[in-house]
Structure 1
């Protein structure tokens, strides 16, 4: 197999893993929801409960399950995923990465506002505005499920696979494209491309921290802290605290 063929194959596998994990996750979420309905729990009529099921079964169970299942299939084992308790240096990088994400997010938001450009909105925000307690519940979920699950699949597995065929920056960029693309399924309103562009830029930072530290715990913590901060701000906004 030529280098070009190997690269194309790696990209194809990355696409299948990211899109496939999302589709499998939707099946798992639906099956879980229907099971709960059959047990007398009306999750389909309660968006808050359905969101909870989605977070647990999609980010927590499916993303991690697909990543670990693929590694088992390849025979790579957990050694493929570079994760450990962060050192003091890595904690400093984590804080820097978190600050960078927030700084970039604020800068882009201010620029878009000045230009009059609208960005789409994640459906989670709409659900949370109807029931602000959702935002509070999503704060611990960001650290326990969303950050670890999404980073395990995207950085730990996909970026790791692409890194074998591409230079570091190439692997980071390609992974970020896939990471941004899959978010399109959770958006509503106009400005979807703008939203995806923002996610792409933020993903570059996450991918860079993983490449630099070779420790998945770093981007997972950054991702979790970033999401938790946004959910906290959304709660304050929804309850009139801002």
Structure 2
């Protein structure tokens, strides 16, 4: 990534933040509208989507990540004049592989630290942390996780990193520099997951706690992207991280009788940090 060549004005910075915040939520909005439209079409065609967790998850992946994030991201690059080269997409070098492995380990470490902090905050406030909707869906049918594990690498990681790291962090870096770019992009990334916790939100705090956790773990993604200038690196880390969480959730749900104590703690962590 090229260094910032001038000091942007406060107006430039605020305008860029507004645009990138809008872009992030535009991707989310387009995904939701697409999901509703496809849902109505499938129901009209006689497909029982609502009673099938597997179909519901598949529809969500196609709509939210596939159309909402990936398509909006590609269209932005196309019509803003930046092009795909702006996000630094290339085949990983050995150095990139090292950063990928190190980044994954670091992300798991941040996960464990964040989980402890979130649990302490939740207990201190007497708040039950909102659950990610994925946890609820998987509780009904754990086999949906067999779809989500490969999707983490093929759809979720690439699409979310394209929009939030490749475009949003990249644009913010131009006016704020690397550190602030990472922090602001990670915050936008966290708040873009609000709808994932809406169904079980008991209060504002119950949602802000997991959003804070998501923001914290995503800092690792932003940092590795900054150091490698290769979108493949955070996409792989993100995919591996989500795949790990999905795998742990499957073990928790399927072998809950033997792991009841661990299940209670794990569900909270998984619910907060997807």
TM-score normalised over the length of structure 2: 0.84
**1:26 counterpart = 2:32:** yes
Which of 140, 150, 153 aligns to 1:143? It is: 153
TM-score normalized by the length of structure 1 = 0.94
Which deviates more, 150-159 or 103-112?
103-112
Q: In the aligned structure 2, how far is the partner of 1:144 from the partner of 1:104?
A: 24
Distance in 2 separating the partners of 1:107 and 1:12: 31
Structure 1 unpaired stretches of 5+: none
Matched, 1:182 2:192: yes
Which of 58, 75, 78 is matched with 1:72 structurally? 78
2: CA distance, partners of 1:236 / 1:127: 15
Aligned partner of 1:155 in structure 2 is 165
Q: Report the Cα distance in structure 2 between the residues aligned to 1:174 and 1:112, rounded to whole angstroms.
A: 20
For structure 2, the residue ranges without an aligned partner over 5 or more in a row are 1-7, 260-274
Say if 1:54 and 1:165 are closer, same or farther in 2 by CA, change over 3 A: same
Aligned partner of 2:3 in structure 1 is none
Query: Aligned-pair distance for 1:55?
Result: 1.1
Counterpart check, 1:212 vs 2:235: no
Tell which deviates more after alignment, 229-238 or 45-54: 45-54
Separation (CA, whole Å) in 1 of partners of 2:216 and 2:75: 29
Shift of 1:189: 3.8
From the superposition, tell whether residues 114 and 72 of structure 1 become closer, same or farther in structure 2 (CA, over 3 Å): closer
CA offset at residue 107 of structure 1? 2.2
Kindly state the Cα deviation for residue 62 of structure 1 after the two structures are TM-superposed: 2.1
**Distance of 2:9 and 2:201 partners within structure 1:** 41
Aligned mates of 1:89, 1:74 — CA distance in 2: 31
Tell me which residue corresponds to 2:270.
Answer: none
Q: Please report how far the alpha carbon of residue 47 of structure 1 lies from its aligned counterpart in structure 2 after TM superposition.
A: 3.3
Deviation of 1:132 (Å): 0.4
Name the structure 1 match of 2:113. Answer: 107
Deviation per CA, 1:49-98: give whole Å up to 9, x if none: 11210112211222111111111111222121211111111111111111
Question: How many pairs does the alignment contain?
Answer: 241
Report 1:47-86 matches (<5 A).
47-86=53-92
Q: State the match for 2:216 in structure 1.
A: 201
3-state secondary structure, aligned to 2:68: helix
| 1:129 Cα deviation after fit | 1.0
